[in-house]
Amino acid sequence: MRPAAADRRRSFSDTPKGSCRISHIVWLVDVDPGERFVRVRGEAGGVPVIRSRRSLKLKLYLLSTYLPDDLVIEPPVVEVFLRKLDALVQEMKAAGAWVFTGGLEDARVATVARLKDDEVATTDGPFGDYTWRLGGLVIIKAADLDSATEWGRRLANLSQMAKLPVEVRPFRFDAN
């Protein structure tokens, strides 16, 4: 007797990589390093039963780095950070996760546009008076929050000299 389709789907999602037994067939589930697709194949007594390759639904995530207003980083330290960041971005690209990377200028050079009395007024300077500012961001595609958080951990590890936090946040809409 075959299990219901819902049971088969649950087995796959509960086993991102590994195997599960449905009836007499052992299903092997492999996820590629960039988590762009999953390959599912079944074996019964070593004989291949099914081979399929299905795309995973990827979501967009924002990895944002924050820094204090009074932080001063020496140019040689910035150069080392940028080299390491470039290497991480190359890994993200190779894994199919990278979408965009950008560092921001100092918040004091920002301009704020605000609607007031049916007209848009602009003011120089940051939006608010905060002690921490958004310093840079990376947008990635990932299968889930855990995968995105792993990239966030690696990004936070790059900024260990200043101990800068990295926020990992999903976008509301899917990348697909």
pLDDT of residue 62 exceeding 90: yes
Going from the N-terminus, what domains does the chain have, and what CATH number goes with each?
A: 5-55 (no CATH), 59-174 (3.30.70.1060)
Q: What angle do CA 139, 143, 146 make, to 5 degrees?
A: 85
Kindly compute the dihedral angle of the four CA atoms of residues 151, 152, 154, 160, in this order, to the nearest 10 degrees.
Answer: 170
126-164 confidence digits (pLDDT tens): 877 788 889 999 999 999 999 999 999 999 998 776 688
Give the torsion sign (CA, 154, 158, 163, 167). Answer: negative
Question: What sections of the chain are H helices per DSSP?
Answer: 5-14, 75-95, 145-158
Instruction: Rank 25-34, 46-55, 101-110 by mean pLDDT and report only the highest.
Output: 101-110
Please report the pLDDT score of residue 19 as a whole number.
44
Please report the pLDDT score of residue 73 as a whole number.
83
- DSSP per residue over 114-135, as a string? EEETTEEEEEES-SS--SEEEE
pLDDT of residue 122 exceeding 70: yes
Paired tokens of 21: 């037994």
CA distances from 17 to 12, 23, 27, 126, 149 (A): 9, 19, 10, 46, 18
CB 133 within 8 A of CB 67: yes
* Element at 37 (helix H, strand E): strand 37-44
CA distances from 155 to 35, 74, 77, 79, 164 (A): 18, 19, 15, 15, 10
Count of beta carbons in the 10 Å neighbourhood of residue 34: 19
Please report the pLDDT score of residue 18 as a whole number.
47
Please report the pLDDT score of residue 8 as a whole number.
39
Mean pLDDT on 153-176:
84
